[in-house]
């Protein structure tokens, strides 16, 4: 007698497609129990999105998904295949990580000691998407076409980069469709990124660009595409929104996501553990020789400008962008630096804090 084959009412997330079901064996002597046909299907959780109509679970790489069998309670052992070349597993409800982009078939075979076996394959159940500019990555293959995984492990980046980010150089200053088709939400920023993204000034020995006054470098780093952000909440976990020089020869500032604590904002201290002024500790790219511990600043020598909320002040012979003091930034990390009023009586030719451009009603983090 032929084994019975059951077409069953699948869970809501799996309706709309015929199930690929096979029943082998049955009751004693190999005869199936026609009154209670075996059924099995696949439940999956952890998807960034789920297409109920086409039965597709989608997420960006890498993604960890949880699977479970749905069907006859008589099935007691299971064998899963995830379609990515990994070994089959026999857990009842396995958890599996897809590391690379692709479209993957998932199958499960359930078996019971007295009822035989039944199998289900969901073709293309899992779609793992490539990562756009600024997204976190571990290897180049996870990034969309034209992008590389910058600052991945072993790349020589600051240890704050526990994972890399998908990016590409942006010598023209733009991160639109011309650089990475189909991806948006990225900005071209000047930030230090070693190989595989070549530095724009490698040919001239890596010397930083000069702001025009011979002492304060502006945007010295290779321009790369970073995830755009308005605040920290717009960045991936562990990243923070930083003000950076616009890249690719574009004058101005942009906001991009960098690892939290990696690079200080304007007004942060920047002398490293060896006592050396370290430009790469500043998101602005310049550690000015002021205060006891150095001061993250930026040149505002024309045509350069300051980011929103900062003021352009004359410090000695240099024109520098200074951070606004606030409750969130009280300018208290260096005893030789304090909040100073730009409109104070000594603000001017007598050696005070002359504000070239900015809000004179505010106070700014400046050398004493």
Please state, in angstroms and rounded to a whole number, the distance separating the CA atoms of residues 78 and 75.
Answer: 8
Residue 2: what pLDDT?
A: 28
Residue 46: what pLDDT?
A: 97
Q: Are 317 and 213 in contact (CB under 8 A)?
A: yes
Comparing 92-101, 178-187, 244-253, the range with the smallest average pLDDT is 178-187
Q: Is 281 helix (H, G, I), strand (E, B) or coil?
A: helix
Last residue of a domain, one of 102, 129, 156: 129
pLDDT classification of 100: cutoffs 50, 70, 90:
very high
- In this structure, the answer to whether residues 73 and 175 fall within a common structural domain is no
Residue 340: what pLDDT?
A: 87
Last residue of a domain, one of 246, 263, 280: 263
- In this structure, the answer to whether residues 157 and 186 fall within a common structural domain is yes
pLDDT classification of 350: cutoffs 50, 70, 90:
very low
Please state, in angstroms and rounded to a whole number, the distance separating the CA atoms of residues 97 and 87.
Answer: 12
Q: Are 175 and 225 in contact (CB under 8 A)?
A: yes
- Note the pLDDT tens digit of each residue in 114-149: 899 999 999 999 999 998 888 889 999 999 888 889
251 vs 331, higher pLDDT? 331
Please state, in angstroms and rounded to a whole number, the distance separating the CA atoms of residues 282 and 264.
Answer: 5
- In this structure, the answer to whether residues 243 and 306 fall within a common structural domain is no
Q: Are 296 and 284 in contact (CB under 8 A)?
A: yes
Residue 23: what pLDDT?
A: 40
Domain holding 114: CATH number? Answer: 2.60.40.10
Most confident of 17-21, 194-198, 264-268: 264-268
pLDDT value at 4 more than 60: no
pLDDT classification of 341: cutoffs 50, 70, 90:
confident
- Is the residue at 7 inside a domain? no
Beta-carbon contacts of 138 under 8 Å, excluding residues fewer than 6 positions away, are 62, 99, 149, 152, 153, 163, 164
- In this structure, the answer to whether residues 288 and 241 fall within a common structural domain is no
Q: Residue 325 belongs to what domain range? A: 264-368
- In this structure, the answer to whether residues 135 and 237 fall within a common structural domain is yes
- In this structure, the answer to whether residues 212 and 118 fall within a common structural domain is no
Q: For all residues of the chain together, what is the average pLDDT?
A: 78
- In this structure, the answer to whether residues 240 and 279 fall within a common structural domain is no
- Is the residue at 23 inside a domain? yes
Please state, in angstroms and rounded to a whole number, the distance separating the CA atoms of residues 303 and 314.
Answer: 15
Please state, in angstroms and rounded to a whole number, the distance separating the CA atoms of residues 91 and 209.
Answer: 58
Comparing 54-63, 302-311, 352-361, the range with the smallest average pLDDT is 352-361
Please state, in angstroms and rounded to a whole number, the distance separating the CA atoms of residues 18 and 247.
Answer: 53
- Cα torsion 256, 259, 265, 270: sign: negative
Q: Is 176 exposed, middle or buried (0-12, 13-18, 19+ CB in 10 A)?
A: middle
- In this structure, the answer to whether residues 201 and 259 fall within a common structural domain is yes
pLDDT value at 239 more than 80: yes
- Is the residue at 1 inside a domain? no
Which of 22, 34, 25 is closest to 109 using CA atoms?
A: 22
- In this structure, the answer to whether residues 276 and 184 fall within a common structural domain is no
Most confident of 47-56, 132-141, 196-205, 302-311: 47-56
- Is the residue at 3 inside a domain? no
Average pLDDT over residues 348-354: 59
- Is the residue at 280 inside a domain? yes
pLDDT classification of 291: cutoffs 50, 70, 90:
confident
Average pLDDT over residues 234-261: 86
Which of 149, 112, 146, 143 is closest to 129 using CA atoms?
A: 143
Number of domains in the chain: 3
- Is the residue at 214 inside a domain? yes
- In this structure, the answer to whether residues 237 and 284 fall within a common structural domain is no
- Is the residue at 55 inside a domain? yes
- Is the residue at 162 inside a domain? yes
Q: Are 118 and 74 in contact (CB under 8 A)?
A: no
Most confident of 13-17, 159-163, 200-204, 346-350: 159-163
Residue 86: what pLDDT?
A: 97
Residue 258: what pLDDT?
A: 85
Q: What proportions of the chain, in percent to the nearest 5, are helix, strand and coil?
A: 5, 35, 60
Distances (CA, A) of 246 to 76, 229, 252, 285: 60, 14, 6, 12
- In this structure, the answer to whether residues 257 and 311 fall within a common structural domain is no
Average pLDDT over residues 305-315: 89
Q: Is 47 exposed, middle or buried (0-12, 13-18, 19+ CB in 10 A)?
A: middle
- In this structure, the answer to whether residues 114 and 193 fall within a common structural domain is no
Beta-carbon contacts of 181 under 8 Å, excluding residues fewer than 6 positions away, are 145, 146
Rounded percentage of the chain residues whose pLDDT exceeds 70: 77
CA-based radius of gyration for the chain: 29
Per-residue tokens: 104: 């993957």
Helix (H) / strand (E) element for 59: namely strand 56-60
Last residue of a domain, one of 214, 240, 263: 263
Helix (H) / strand (E) element for 352: namely none
Phi then psi dihedrals of residue 7, to 5 deg: -95, 125
Average pLDDT over residues 223-237: 86
């Amino acid at each position: 007698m032929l084994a019975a084959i059951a077409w069953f009412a699948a869970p809501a997330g799996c309706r709309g497609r015929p199930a690929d079901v096979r029943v082998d064996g049955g009751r004693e002597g190999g005869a199936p129990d026609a009154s209670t046909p075996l059924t099995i299907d696949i439940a999956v959780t952890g998807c960034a999105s789920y297409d109920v109509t086409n039965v597709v679970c989608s997420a960006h790489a890498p993604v960890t998904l949880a699977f479970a069998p749905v069907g006859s309670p008589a099935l007691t052992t299971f064998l899963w295949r995830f379609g990515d070349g990994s070994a089959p597993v026999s857990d009842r409800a396995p958890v599996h990580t897809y590391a690379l982009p692709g479209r993957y078939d998932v199958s499960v075979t359930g078996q019971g000691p007295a009822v035989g076996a039944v199998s289900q394959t969901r073709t293309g159940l899992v779609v793992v998407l490539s990562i756009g500019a600024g997204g976190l990555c571990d290897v180049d293959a996870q990034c969309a076409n034209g992008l590389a995984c910058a600052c991945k492990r072993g790349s020589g980046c600051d240890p704050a980069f526990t994972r890399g980010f998908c990016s590409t150089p942006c010598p023209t200053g733009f991160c639109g469709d011309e650089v990475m088709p189909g991806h948006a939400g990225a900005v071209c920023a000047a930030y230090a990124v070693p190989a595989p993204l070549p530095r724009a000034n490698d040919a001239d020995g890596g010397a930083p660009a000069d702001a025009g006054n011979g002492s304060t470098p502006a945007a010295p780093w290779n321009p790369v595409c970073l995830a755009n952000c308005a605040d920290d909440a717009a960045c991936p976990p562990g990243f923070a929104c930083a003000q950076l020089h616009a890249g690719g020869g574009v004058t101005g500032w942009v906001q991009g996501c960098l690892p939290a604590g990696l690079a200080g904002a304007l007004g942060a201290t920047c002398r490293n553990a060896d006592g050396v002024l370290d430009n790469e500790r500043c998101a602005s790219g310049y550690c000015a020789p002021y205060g006891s511990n150095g001061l993250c600043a930026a040149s505002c020598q024309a045509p350069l400008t300051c980011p929103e909320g900062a003021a352009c002040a004359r410090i000695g012979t240099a024109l520098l962008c200074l951070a606004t003091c606030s409750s969130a930034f009280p300018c208290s990390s260096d005893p030789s630096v304090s909040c100073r009023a730009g409109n104070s009586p000594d603000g001017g030719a007598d050696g005070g804090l002359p504000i070239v451009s900015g809000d004179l009603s505010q106070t700014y983090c400046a050398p004493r």
